[in-house]
């Protein structure tokens, strides 16, 4: 199974980000856009994992979730990886609450390393992937023009282990389990 840990977005956040996607599409050429129902905040991508490891992954999620209380993340900035001038991924990130989310990402990372998963090589960045590009492009002008009228609050209340089934028309995400933060 192809798996990742994430924080799911509520329907209102998905709807609002879906509107932003529709606004950006005409200006981004051949981007591969994430379907609004698939928008999420990744905590850690795991890759292909055997079903026999689900128990230890759930134990890990319970341990990490017990260390955190629910909190709010406020999305309100648009950026790109690896940089706006050579964008391969267009994303929305937080303007408030990022430090707490990165702590959660690091706790998950530490746990999956202890379980023998390969260490993540990139620095943790709280973000929602909006689009991917086949070749790098300069989005610095677009990013300078786009402003959020209001921040988009995201309630971080649980950790989800998500299964990703790849299909030609796009991935299908199915929750394997959800674990509430701090017993909420």
Give the catalytic positions in this structure.
40, 127
Q: Measured between alpha carbons, how far is residue 108 from residues 11, 83, 169 in Å?
A: 25, 25, 30
CA 159/CA 180 separation, integer angstroms: 6
Cβ(49)–Cβ(162) below 8 Å = no
Cβ(128)–Cβ(41) below 8 Å = yes
CA 105/CA 45 separation, integer angstroms: 11
- Looking from the CA of 47 toward its CB, the CA atoms found within 13 Å total 6
DSSP string, 46-60: EEE--GGGHHHHHHH
For residue 183, what are its two tokens?
A: 């017993």
DSSP code for 8? E
CA 6/CA 41 separation, integer angstroms: 5
């Amino acid at each position: 199974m192809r798996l990742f840990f994430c924080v799911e977005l509520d329907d209102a956040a998905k709807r609002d980000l879906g509107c932003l996607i529709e606004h950006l599409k005409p200006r981004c050429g051949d981007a591969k856009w994430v379907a609004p129902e698939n928008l999420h905040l990744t905590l850690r991508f795991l890759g292909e994992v055997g079903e026999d490891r689900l128990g230890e992954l759930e134990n890990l999620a319970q341990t990490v979730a017990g260390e955190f209380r629910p909190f709010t993340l406020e999305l309100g900035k648009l950026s790109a990886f690896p940089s706006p001038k050579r964008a391969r991924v267009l994303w929305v990130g937080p303007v408030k609450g990022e430090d707490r989310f990165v702590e959660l990402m690091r706790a998950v990372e530490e746990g999956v390393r202890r379980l023998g998963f390969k260490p993540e090589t990139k620095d943790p960045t709280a973000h929602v992937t909006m689009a991917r590009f086949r070749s790098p492009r300069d989005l610095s002008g677009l990013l300078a023009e786009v402003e959020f009228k209001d921040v988009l609050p995201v309630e971080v209340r649980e950790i989800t282990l998500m299964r990703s089934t790849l299909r030609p028309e796009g991935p299908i995400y199915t929750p394997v389990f959800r674990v509430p933060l701090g017993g909420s």
